[in-house]
Amino acid sequence: MLSLLFKIKKEKSLEQLVHEIQKGDLELQNELIEKYKPFIAKSVSSVCKRYIDERDDEFSIGLIAFNEAVEKYSADKGSSLLSFAELIIKRKVIDYIRKEARASRTIQWDPVMAEDEEAPQSKVEADLSIEEYEKLLEQEQRKEEILFFRAVLKEFKLSLEELIEQSPKHVDARQNAINVAKVLVEDEELKQFLLQKKRLPVKQLEKKVSVSRKTIERNRKYIMSMAIILSGDYVYLKDYIKGVLTS
């Protein structure tokens, strides 16, 4: 059934199939989830640093996250479905691991046990260890977001190295470029131009901002990159933008 389904619809992209699912095709949704179980397991395993199969709780979290990604995906995010799904899966699994670690800390801290001199760990030590573990999880989350962003930039024929090299040197210039990006994403027509054509609508944008066309052209790659972040599902990179605007 699955092979027949995808043979019949082979001319349609994955994103088009997702669009049909979002319109209510539950059978196709179940078929798609079944097909991408290996992808889900691989994404979850990369976070857990061990082999994960369908018997693991983490796999169930990944399955729910993949389904959520399918339901929430939009081309407006500027990325492919699988890139978006991978980010959501890894983010949800990390959140799950963090919650489980906190729950474990609460269970392990027993005031009666604390009075026992042979207790292996004090509450302070437990708090410190869980704090360090959560820092590692947050680092993993940041890393995954950067990897996701790097993959999306590639679709726009941009690279993270170019962005770092060509970002405006002065804070005011970076703020102006980010403000231009904000104007772009707040205009639905201009945003769609960027996401669909993968290039900056310089001529149209020039009419809506107070900076010159020459300035827009000079900072083209930086503006595009900031617009991609503002349009997408980026937690930490959006904090970077806030930091630039408030500095």
Whole-number pLDDT of residue 16: 82
Cα 30 to Cα 5: distance, rounded to the nearest angstrom: 12
Cα 133 to Cα 45: distance, rounded to the nearest angstrom: 18
Would you state the structure tokens that stand for residue 222, as one six-digit string?
């930086």
Cα 194 to Cα 53: distance, rounded to the nearest angstrom: 39
Q: At what angle do helices 57-72 and 14-22 cross, to 10 degrees?
A: 90
| Element (DSSP H or E) covering residue 185 | helix 171-186
Whole-number pLDDT of residue 143: 85
Note the pLDDT tens digit of each residue in 196-247: 899 999 999 989 998 899 999 999 999 999 999 998 888 888 888 888 777 6
Whole-number pLDDT of residue 187: 92
Give the long-range contacts of residues 181-185, CB within 8 A, separation 24 or more. Answer: 181/223, 181/224, 181/226, 181/227, 181/230, 182/230, 183/208, 183/209, 184/223, 184/227, 185/227, 185/230, 185/231
Cα 36 to Cα 48: distance, rounded to the nearest angstrom: 19
Q: Are 234 and 84 in contact (CB under 8 A)?
A: no
pLDDT in tens, the chain (247 residues): 455 454 444 557 888 888 888 888 889 999 999 999 999 999 999 888 888 888 899 999 999 999 999 998 887 766 788 888 988 998 899 888 888 877 665 545 444 444 444 444 454 444 545 566 667 777 888 888 888 899 889 889 999 888 888 888 888 999 999 999 999 999 999 999 998 899 999 999 989 998 899 999 999 999 999 999 998 888 888 888 888 777 6
Task: Say how far residue 9 (Cα) sits from the centre of its chain.
Answer: 28
Whole-number pLDDT of residue 115: 47
Task: Identify which of 98, 79, 193, 100 has the alpha carbon closest to the alpha carbon of residue 145.
Answer: 79
Whole-number pLDDT of residue 218: 92
Does the predicted model carry a pTM greater than 0.75? Answer: no
- Three-class DSSP category at 54: coil
What is the per-residue burial (b if ≥16 Cβ within 10 Å, else e) of 35-70?
ebeeebbebbbbbbeeebeeebebbebbbebbbebb
